[in-house]
Amino acid sequence: MHFSDLAMNLKASEIRELLKLTTMPEVISFAGGLPAPELFPTEQLKKVDDAVLTKEGREALQYGTTEGYNPLRKQIAARMKQAFMVDCDIDNITITSGSQQGLSMLAQIFINPGDVILVESPTYLGAINAFKLCKPEFVEVPTDDKGIIPEELEKILEKYGDRVRMMYVIPEFQNPTGITWPVERRKAFMDLINQYDFPVLEDDPYGELRYDGDKVPSLKSMDTKGNIIFLGSFSKILMPGLRIAWMVADPVIIDKVVKLKQAVDLQSSSFGQRQTSYYIDMFDLDEHVAKIKALYKKRRDLMCESMKKYFPEGITFTYPEGGLFTWVTLPEGMDAKELMPKVLAKNVAYVPGGPFYPHGGNANHFRLNYSNMPEDRIVEGIKRLADVLKEELAK
C-alpha cells in the first residue's frame, strides 16, 4: 500500500499522545487544555435536548447548511458585540467543527508550499500541526511578557513582507504562555499590519475567561481593512464535546471557507448547533461562564502559590490574567523533555516546551494547565514536580 507524501509527513500531536497516559486515574495531569468536567451543564443539557427534539427533531437530525444554523449565527453576532466589541452580522460568520478545523481550512485557502506564515514564538502547537500540512516556511516573531514585540515584527515584515501570506496570533491569555497583549501593544501591532495585505488569524478561545484586570479590545474590533479573521469557540465556555466554534471574517473569505468546508465535512453537526443555540436561549450563558471563571481563578491562584512555595530558586513562571495555562521557565541547560520520564514516574504530566516552537529548541520550558485538576491534586502534583526539579538542580 502506498501512502501520499502528506500522510507520510503526518506527526502525532505530543499533547494527544500525553493524554493517552493521563487517562490513568493515578496520573495528575497538567498536560491537556481540558476544561473542568464537573462544570459541564449536563442536567441543563438534558432539558435542551428534549426541547430540540420536541421542536425541531427532524431538522436537528437532518443535513443542514454549510454556513451553519442561522439562529446560532445571530446569537454569535450578538456575543461578538458583547464580549469582543465587534460589530458583525451573519454574513460575516460561519460555524466550524471546532476552531482546529478553522485553522486547517484557513491555511488551505491562503497557503501554498513555501509561503511564509508568521507566528508568535512560542505558539499553539495545534496550529503548527495544522499549518505544516500546507508546507509553509514558518517565521517566528519574538515575544516578551507583553506579547509580540513590535520592533521585531517590523524587522521581519521588512525582510519577508512580500512573501508573507498569513499570520497567526493569540493576543488573549496565549497558549502556551498565558500572556495577554496590552492595548498599546495591540495598537502598535495593527499600525504595522495595516501597511500590508495579508490575513491575520486572531484565535481567541479563552477571551471570556478573564480573572483579573480590565477587558482589552480584540484585534478584530480595531480592524479597519478586513484583514483580521477572528476564531471563537464554545469549547471552553460551554463544553468541548459539542465541537462547535465559529469564524468571523469578510464575506469574501467566508465564501472560500464555506466552499472548502463542503469538501471537508459538508457541515458542522446540526444537532450540536441547535444544542448550543437552545442552551443560549433557555439558560444564562453569562452565569455559566461566571461559574467557570470563579473555579479557574481559584485553581490558577492555588497552582501559582504552590509553585512559589515549593519550586526551587531559579525557576520562573507566568501569572496569567485568565485562560488555562501558565508557562514555566527552567534554568538554561535543563531540558523539560528529558525530565518527562522522571516526572511521569511520579505520576505527574506536563507538556514540554519544544513543540510550541515550529523549529524546535527552547528546551527549558514547559506548559502547565490548571483548569482540569481538583485543588488537592494541584497541590500534590506541584509538590511532586518540585521534588524532581530539586533533584535535578542538586546534581
What is the pLDDT at residue 70? 98
What are the domain boundaries of the chain?
5-41+287-393, 43-282
Q: Which residues contact 199 (CB under 8 A, 6 or more apart)?
A: 106, 110, 166, 167, 227, 228, 229, 253
What is the pLDDT at residue 19? 61
Residue 233 contacts residue 99 (beta carbons within 8 Å): yes
Share of the chain above pLDDT 70, in %: 98
Q: Do domains 5-41+287-393 and 43-282 have the same CATH topology?
A: no
CATH topology of domain 43-282: Aspartate Aminotransferase; domain 2 (3.40.640)
Look up the pTM and report it.
0.96
Binning pLDDT at 50, 70 and 90, where does residue 17 land? low
SS3 assignment, position 39:
helix
Q: Three cell numbers at 277?
A: 443555540
Q: In this structure, how many other beta carbons lie within 10 angstroms of the beta carbon of residue 312? A: 14
Residue 349 contacts residue 29 (beta carbons within 8 Å): yes
Q: Which burial class, exposed, middle or buried, applies to 11 when counting CB atoms under 10 A from its CB (0-12, 13-18, 19+)? A: exposed
Paired sense of beta strands 245-248 and 93-96, if any = antiparallel
Q: Three cell numbers at 74?
A: 445571530
Share of the chain above pLDDT 90, in %: 91
Average of per-residue pLDDT across 320-326: 98
Average of per-residue pLDDT across 283-292: 98
Query: Residue 182: what residue type?
Result: P
DSSP classification of residue 391 = H
In CATH terms, 5-41+287-393 corresponds, of 3.90.1150.10, 3.40.50.10440, 1.20.210.10, 3.40.50.720, to: 3.90.1150.10
Q: In this structure, how many other beta carbons lie within 10 angstroms of the beta carbon of residue 316? A: 12
Binning pLDDT at 50, 70 and 90, where does residue 12 land? confident
- In whole angstroms, what is the distance from residue 46 CA to residue 173 CA? 32
What is the pLDDT at residue 15? 60
Q: In this structure, how many other beta carbons lie within 10 angstroms of the beta carbon of residue 9? A: 11
- In whole angstroms, what is the distance from residue 92 CA to residue 78 CA? 12
Q: In this structure, how many other beta carbons lie within 10 angstroms of the beta carbon of residue 212? A: 12
Closest-CA residue to 215 (of 177, 169, 170, 173)? 173
Q: Could you tell me the CA-to-CA distances from 335 to 31, 204, 265, 351, 369 in Å, in that order? A: 17, 30, 40, 12, 19
Q: Could you tell me the CA-to-CA distances from 130 to 14, 17, 117, 193, 346 in Å, in that order? A: 13, 16, 12, 23, 32
SS3 assignment, position 148:
strand
Over the stretch 32-79, which tens digit does the pLDDT of each residue have?
A: 899 999 999 999 999 999 999 999 999 999 999 999 999 999 999 999
Over the stretch 90-149, which tens digit does the pLDDT of each residue have?
A: 999 999 999 999 999 999 999 999 999 999 999 999 999 999 999 999 999 999 999 999
Average of per-residue pLDDT across 3-32: 78
Binning pLDDT at 50, 70 and 90, where does residue 23 land? confident
Q: Three cell numbers at 224?
A: 479597519
What is the pLDDT at residue 13? 67
- In whole angstroms, what is the distance from residue 125 CA to residue 19 CA? 15
- In whole angstroms, what is the distance from residue 325 CA to residue 328 CA? 10
SS3 assignment, position 368:
strand
- In whole angstroms, what is the distance from residue 120 CA to residue 26 CA? 35
